[in-house]
Structure 1
Amino acid sequence: MSGAGDGDAELRALFPAPPRGPLAAFREQASFDWRRMKLAYDSIQAIRAKDKIWKFMEEHPLFKHSEATPSLDEQRHLATKRMYVIHNADLVPLEEIAMHPRLFQSFTEAIFMWDSSLAIKLSLTFRMFSNTIRGSGRDHHFPLIEACDEGKIGGCFALTEIAHGSNAKGMRTTATYLPDEQCFELHSPDFEAAKCWVGSLGKCATHAIVYAMLVSKGQSHGLHAFVVPVRDPRTLRPLAGVTLGDLGEKVGLNGVDNGFVMFNKYKLPRSAALDRLGGVDARGDYRSPFRDPAKRFGASLGILSGGRVHITSISTNYLQKAVVIAVRYSAARRQFAAPGAAAETPVLLYQQQQVRLLPYLAATFAMRVFCNWFGEEHVRMSIDNMMGSSDAELAARGVELHALSSAAKPLSGWTARDGIQNCRECCGGHGYLKAAGIGELRNDNDANCTYEGENSMLLQQASNWLLGVWARRHQPAFADTPLGSVHFLARATSLLAETCAADTKEDIVQPATVVRAYEWLTTYMLRLTADKVSRLRSEGRSDYDVRNDSQAYTAVTLAVVYGEHFMLSHLYKTALALPDAACRGVLLRLAALYGAFMLERHMATLYIGGFFSGEQGLLLREGIVWLCAALAAEAVSLADTLAPPDWCLNSVLGYADGEVYKHIQDGILTYPGALERPRWWRDVVHWDTYVPAKL
């Protein structure tokens, strides 16, 4: 879209010009078209889908933000009612997602931009439940999918137990096959084995995907999935043999009814097993279409990676909203004046505000570009799996996607955590208002650092895969890793011999230079970790001790830089491919800032390994400051690119017109009870002990 045409006309129709106001001066400085920049991470079909969803919600009376926080029960109730309204509207049918896989990301992004509890409820109750059955079930399970699609039943996903979350091998819920009765006996030996943190189970779900240890003929075959009725769909009362309930109020996401469930020798028919990838036959003998257990494991990993893939997008959504609010507020908020200036200076023009805020604006674009591609890739893989593909390439994709998601999920959650907090602080005291909209984003994102795999544990899974890759880097087929996340390791020897040649701040933050630095850094950390593992083994340490004692400063850092490198290089390639020259130039600067900002955190390693020398570390920091100053004029228009509609953003600090103080005034004066005497005023006034003095 390099020139004005039908595409530009449609974008203008979908996104009218922002109102004039305090932000107009910044918008006039922008060197690119903020509407066209959306095409860096969205297709036009995805943009249309989001617009359709937002218009539906804006016009529906149930989708109105409340000024005061509702009770816990009412939050649960509202999220559930809204969930069924969205689901029944079928705004993005599955057939369209199959044709345009990116539409799934657009659907979830649009809902998340309005309310995260609603989006998670919707995903857990319908999408995750049905997709797991599609990926692991058989034809006889499909009526459950139809019942779910029709809203007759509601699903959930039960993996974590009270005493075991990360250690899947330590799970204690069992599904013992009884060949004489042709059924499984599902059992929780005690409360520590109760399935917990199950989203949508606390109040509503009628069926659960339960992961239990499959036991047959006295042998455990590890975790397998079962589709389990837990409530009567007509009464919502627990079924006999099932004990379940709500976990109560949480730090955030209180529209989601997280629950627990226990089973007391609960009988399930053999057909309840989701056994397309492996299970027992009528006699109790284990069968699998995969001769190689590693391939079966790889295919199952690809399915189970969906939650982590989804969380990269969830974290991005939270940071995206926070950055839009903070950038617009920083452009509208004026404090102090330069000598001789007629007006105070927008705080966005202060260096410290730029360095605190703009790297997270760049990170948002990096994460948005990555997670949209990542989600699309996972949808494609899931479709291939549903179509019955069981070839080696699909298994390899599943394993690599698992490794990449195990690095990207922690990276996204932590980047959003730090970025949202910086956005809150960049908005000063006003950022602490609930009406600012940042506090809830911070609280809701916090769960992303733990659920679907605690971050440090996930990084270990990524590093374990990388160590396996390192061992086979010289094999002829090495370059065939399907997602290409480690293709550069084929040049490991020459990479490790390199040093940084940049001698100016401009050169050291060139995106190509930063990407190359990350290739060296990832390779160096991989060799360092492999050498430590080898040394520990040579000392006679057990595998358990070797893994435990190689984490800090080696394996964990390795997995982090692996994720950072891929996210950066993907943004860089995306920027280079943009047809619009102005957008391409700005996106390349964002790639440079994101890469330099993340790389600076590894300064010690760059010097320890000999890649940096002399004053190159100072040059890198000067380059970051220089890039921030250069991007300040583009920041408001970049925020416009990322922003959902004002009614969806729901922030008195972040509306598109920039009239911050007007919106703060309206928000304060219209808050329920703000101008009223408290109902408990008599607890304050004590006339029997105090008489006001006469004036």
Structure 2
Amino acid sequence: MYKCDKLCKTYRYIRQCNTNIAKSSILLSNMTSSTKSMTDEELKQYFPDFPSGPLDVYRKNASFDWRKIKMAYESASTIKLKHDIWKFMESNPLFQHSERDLSLDEIRHINVKRMYAIFNENFIPYERIVEDPRLYQAKTEALFMYDSSLSVKISLTFRMFANTIQAIGGPHHYHFVEDVQQGKIGGCFALTEVAHGSNAKGMRTTATYCPETKQFIMHTDDFEAAKFWVGSLGQCATHAIVYAMLISKGKNHGLHTFVVPIRDPQTLKPYPGVVVGDIGKKVGLNGVDNGFVIFNKYAIPKENALDKLGGVDDNGDYKTPFKDPSKRFGASLGALSGGRVHITSISTNYLQKAIVIALRYSAVRRQFGPEGEPETPVLEYQMQQVRLLPHLASTFALRIFCTWFSEMHIKMTVDSLFGNLKNAAELGVEVHALSSASKPVCAWAARDGIQTCREACGGHGYLDAARIGELRNDNDANCTYEGENSLLLQQASNWLLAIWPRRHSLRPEDSILGSLNFLENVDEYLKKTCQLKTVDEFIEPTNIIQIYRWLTAYVLKTSYEKVAELKSLGKDNLQARNESQAYYAATLSVVYGENFILNHFYNTAAQFPDAACRAVLLRLVALYGVCLVEKHLATLYIGGHFSDQQGAQVRAGAVRLCAALAPDAVALADALAPPDFCLRSVLGASDGQAYKHIQNAVMTSPGALTRPSWWKDVVHWRDYVQAKL
């Protein structure tokens, strides 16, 4: 074992600047700390004019500067970092895209080589992340825009492994962080089992403490208890963060975390007592080698338990700094939430690329039009606008929220590392609830948006070269991993339902993030009905926010009453919760997440310094909010908040906002777009030359213009049929 004082250089640096970091608490406002802007000249340096072409007519008539609006979710440092990463990739032969389909083994191989190439560049040393947490998110986004498997692979192998140790480990674990930062080992995160996923408390992998040897004995009773879907474990990882039931002196102390060596770093062969393998080809993300592991009474040192929040002493007696066991679990939820926080942004990255492709192509694709005049771009048609522009508004809302959420979580992790995190348990629970709600909201928004983009591109959207199908397949995992979405909604609603009875006595620490602000004077507010009458009133962002505040409070109140009613009929807690999901608790979690995202989007837009950009951002806020309200019209009428023709006014508002945003749609897509090298879409290239790119893709496709090797089978079979006739 390494001694506690054998820290890596990163930790020595962090300890030196600990005093400065301690002076700043977690950032919980709507604006981030990395707000340094860029001059017009600097922005143009990083984002030069696009090639002239079919998209010029939209770009020249945009009401705002597409470069400036990037600063709603970017900073000077993040823009420079992404630029550096993309330029490195574009100039490196290893990152050139293959013209042929690769085998599964080739996909895995090239992804690992690219991972280590990025790792060796060390674009952002850890100390820079401490100083500017936005950089972590920016690097992830830059990699995702190039290839999602690459970003996931890097995150699992290095970041998630190290972050978990930093969050819930101690100084005697830092040698693992040093080793992974130096590339000596590769990590992974093993929580899910074959028969258990979202129900963490039902996990069956055990870690039984043996005081005589001062070891934990890891064991898997059967295949159903095997750790499964573990990213990077299938072929590469040498160490795993394993969640197992800690058993000592015959007592099960619940789920705890351990650093477990899996393979010899020099040979990649598994250690005795470990059965590890790959789970095979998946629907998408095949550059990530997901695996399984089974332990057969496999011994690890006691020191490998990540015991910052609780563990056993040498004699096997359980110790924890928390008097209340629920506090220990609450504090651990903050660390467990990292994956879900990350996935909110992953989903948004997929949607971001899809909406860019669909909008650029919709501005190029022409169909029908007045007699004797040029055909009309399909973007001008109301149906195309109403299909796509709500997803454009959603992309901006989610991008701005996810950037903040990721930065906040990184700051929380850093403060926890230094012991500067106040109210860790309360914050951990709120982060867990908000991530459990926002992850499904983002993943489903991406799922629905990407599918709409695919269909809105017509038949050409079905081309592999359009890249939308690939986005759809890769994003689909976000709906199930790190917690299946519907089950995650239950975790968020459980917290909210427990909050309702004490809504009048909430303390500031109960909602450090402000996600419970909708409960202020809630009983009086729920008595109000919507007094809006005109379309203009319904598309005013502040009015939409008030409607959504009422909706969130109402669904919480009725969900609580539904559970209470079921219990009064003799249902136990499990039955009552189960029978109150549809139209109650599940909806509650969704609107809770949407409410927070909507408010965050509005606050960011309203504070944007550039007037032209602020105006278009507020129109996007209005469209995002109106479409959310339209989705929940039935509940607003059932609850008595809406009456008469108010629902019709909401729908009219959505149509009006889409028409108002259509002239700016291409410029907004430009603001979201990664370089063409990353987008790789024949339909979404920045020059707008979709048909030339389709022609090139078709004509250069391997085998497109050659006779198939099996041509004789066609001829001989045809001759046989003719002879029979």
Q: Same fold (TM over 0.5)?
A: yes
Question: Is the Cα–Cα contact under 8 Å of residues 426 and 509 in structure 2 kept in the other structure?
Answer: no
Query: Aligned partners of 1:502, 1:6: CA distance in 2, in Å?
Result: 40
**CA drift at 1:494:** 2.2
**CA drift at 1:390:** 5.6
Q: When the two structures are aligned, how many residues end up with a matched partner?
A: 687
Query: Aligned partners of 2:457, 2:506: CA distance in 1, in Å?
Result: 54
In structure 1, the residue matched to 2:125 is: 93
Q: 1:61 aligns with which of 64, 68, 93?
A: 93
Query: Aligned partners of 2:121, 2:717: CA distance in 1, in Å?
Result: 60
Q: 2:428 aligns with which of 398, 404, 410?
A: 398
Query: Aligned partners of 1:484, 1:187: CA distance in 2, in Å?
Result: 42
Instruction: Report the AA paired with residue 531 of structure 1.
Output: E
Query: Aligned partners of 1:313, 1:140: CA distance in 2, in Å?
Result: 32
Q: 1:485 aligns with which of 515, 526, 537?
A: 515
In structure 1, the residue matched to 2:377 is: 346
Matching of residues 494-643 of structure 1 within 5 Å: 494-643=524-673
Question: Is the Cα–Cα contact under 8 Å of residues 472 and 478 in structure 1 kept in the other structure?
Answer: no
**CA drift at 1:692:** 9.7
In structure 2, the residue matched to 1:232 is: 264
Instruction: Report the AA paired with residue 15 of structure 1.
Output: F
Matching of residues 143-542 of structure 1 within 5 Å: 143-340=175-372, 342-389=373-420, 391=422, 393-475=423-505, 477=507, 481-542=511-572
Query: Aligned partners of 1:115, 1:347: CA distance in 2, in Å?
Result: 30
Q: What SS class does the counterpart of residue 677 from structure 1 fall into?
A: coil
In structure 2, the residue matched to 1:20 is: 52
Q: Structure 1 residues 682, 27: CA separation in 2 closer, same or farther (over 3 Å shift)?
A: same
Instruction: Report the AA paired with residue 529 of structure 2.
Output: T
**CA drift at 1:636:** 0.1
**CA drift at 1:635:** 0.2
Q: Structure 1 residues 543, 688: CA separation in 2 closer, same or farther (over 3 Å shift)?
A: closer
**CA drift at 1:683:** 2.1
Question: Is the Cα–Cα contact under 8 Å of residues 172 and 193 in structure 1 kept in the other structure?
Answer: yes
Instruction: Report the AA paired with residue 340 of structure 2.
Output: R
Instruction: Report the AA paired with residue 705 of structure 2.
Output: L
Query: Aligned partners of 1:385, 1:362: CA distance in 2, in Å?
Result: 35
Instruction: Report the AA paired with residue 388 of structure 1.
Output: G
In structure 2, the residue matched to 1:107 is: 139
More off after superposition, 627-636 vs 59-68: 59-68
Query: Aligned partners of 1:390, 1:95: CA distance in 2, in Å?
Result: 19
**CA drift at 1:130:** 0.6
Query: Aligned partners of 1:642, 1:572: CA distance in 2, in Å?
Result: 18
Q: Structure 1 residues 87, 613: CA separation in 2 closer, same or farther (over 3 Å shift)?
A: same
Query: Aligned partners of 2:509, 2:421: CA distance in 1, in Å?
Result: 21
Matched, 1:83 2:108: no
Query: Aligned partners of 2:561, 2:479: CA distance in 1, in Å?
Result: 29
Q: What SS class does the counterpart of residue 242 from structure 2 fall into?
A: strand
Query: Aligned partners of 2:590, 2:203: CA distance in 1, in Å?
Result: 28
Question: Is the Cα–Cα contact under 8 Å of residues 427 and 509 in structure 2 kept in the other structure?
Answer: no
Instruction: Report the AA paired with residue 474 of structure 2.
Output: D
Question: Is the Cα–Cα contact under 8 Å of residues 426 and 510 in structure 2 kept in the other structure?
Answer: no
Question: Is the Cα–Cα contact under 8 Å of residues 388 and 452 in structure 2 kept in the other structure?
Answer: yes
Query: Aligned partners of 1:6, 1:422: CA distance in 2, in Å?
Result: 35
Instruction: Report the AA paired with residue 188 of structure 1.
Output: T
Which TM-score applies when normalising by structure 1?
0.97
Q: For residues 254-302 of structure 1, give each alpha carbon's deviation from its aligned partner in whole angstroms, at most 9, with x where no partner exists.
A: 0000000000000111011011111000000011122232322221100
Query: Aligned partners of 2:300, 2:630: CA distance in 1, in Å?
Result: 55
Query: Aligned partners of 2:120, 2:207: CA distance in 1, in Å?
Result: 34
Which TM-score applies when normalising by structure 2?
0.93
Q: What SS class does the counterpart of residue 95 from structure 2 fall into?
A: coil
Q: Percent identity?
A: 63
**CA drift at 1:480:** 5.6
Query: Aligned partners of 1:106, 1:529: CA distance in 2, in Å?
Result: 38
Instruction: Report the AA paired with residue 26 of structure 1.
Output: Y
More off after superposition, 506-515 vs 243-252: 506-515
Matched, 1:35 2:67: yes
Query: Aligned partners of 1:280, 1:676: CA distance in 2, in Å?
Result: 69
Q: Structure 1 residues 107, 390: CA separation in 2 closer, same or farther (over 3 Å shift)?
A: closer
Question: Is the Cα–Cα contact under 8 Å of residues 217 and 297 in structure 2 kept in the other structure?
Answer: yes
Question: Is the Cα–Cα contact under 8 Å of residues 479 and 487 in structure 1 kept in the other structure?
Answer: no
Q: 1:661 aligns with which of 669, 680, 691?
A: 691
**CA drift at 1:347:** 0.3
Q: What SS class does the counterpart of residue 93 from structure 2 fall into?
A: coil
More off after superposition, 285-294 vs 156-165: 285-294
**CA drift at 1:641:** 0.2
Instruction: Report the AA paired with residue 146 of structure 2.
Output: W
Question: Is the Cα–Cα contact under 8 Å of residues 538 and 649 in structure 2 kept in the other structure?
Answer: yes
More off after superposition, 590-599 vs 480-489: 480-489
Question: Is the Cα–Cα contact under 8 Å of residues 605 and 614 in structure 2 kept in the other structure?
Answer: yes
Query: Aligned partners of 1:293, 1:384: CA distance in 2, in Å?
Result: 22
Q: Structure 1 residues 677, 293: CA separation in 2 closer, same or farther (over 3 Å shift)?
A: same
Q: For residues 119-146 of structure 1, give each alpha carbon's deviation from its aligned partner in whole angstroms, at most 9, with x where no partner exists.
A: 0000000000011111111112111111
CA RMSD of aligned residues (A): 1.4
**CA drift at 1:539:** 2.0
Q: Structure 1 residues 249, 476: CA separation in 2 closer, same or farther (over 3 Å shift)?
A: closer
Question: Is the Cα–Cα contact under 8 Å of residues 242 and 261 in structure 1 kept in the other structure?
Answer: yes
Instruction: Report the AA paired with residue 405 of structure 1.
Output: S
Query: Aligned partners of 1:130, 1:187: CA distance in 2, in Å?
Result: 24
Q: What SS class does the counterpart of residue 609 from structure 2 fall into?
A: coil
Matched, 1:670 2:700: yes
Consecutive unaligned residues of structure 2, counting only runs of 5 or more, are: 1-36
Consecutive unaligned residues of structure 1, counting only runs of 5 or more, are: none
Instruction: Report the AA paired with residue 65 of structure 1.
Output: H
Query: Aligned partners of 1:495, 1:74: CA distance in 2, in Å?
Result: 59
Query: Aligned partners of 2:504, 2:683: CA distance in 1, in Å?
Result: 55
Question: Is the Cα–Cα contact under 8 Å of residues 210 and 225 in structure 1 kept in the other structure?
Answer: yes
Instruction: Report the AA paired with residue 369 of structure 1.
Output: I
More off after superposition, 642-651 vs 134-143: 134-143
Query: Aligned partners of 1:598, 1:535: CA distance in 2, in Å?
Result: 29
Question: Is the Cα–Cα contact under 8 Å of residues 163 and 193 in structure 1 kept in the other structure?
Answer: yes
Instruction: Report the AA paired with residue 105 of structure 2.
Output: D
